Amino acid sequence: MTEDECFFFVEDWLECRRIGRVLRAKEGKRETLRQPLP
Question: If we measure between CA atoms, which residue out of 36, 34, 10 comes closest to residue 20?
Answer: 10
Q: How far apart are the first and last CA of the chain?
A: 20
3-state secondary structure of 35: coil
Query: What is the residue range of 10's domain?
Result: 3-34
Give how many domains the chain has, as a whole number.
1
Which tens digits make up the pLDDT trace of 1-38? 555 555 555 566 677 677 778 777 777 665 555 666 56
* Cβ(6)–Cβ(19) below 8 Å: yes
Integer Cα distance of 2 and 7 in angstroms:
9
Integer angstrom CA distances of residue 35 from 3, 7, 10, 11, 30: 17, 23, 24, 25, 9
- pLDDT at residue 15, rounded to an integer: 76
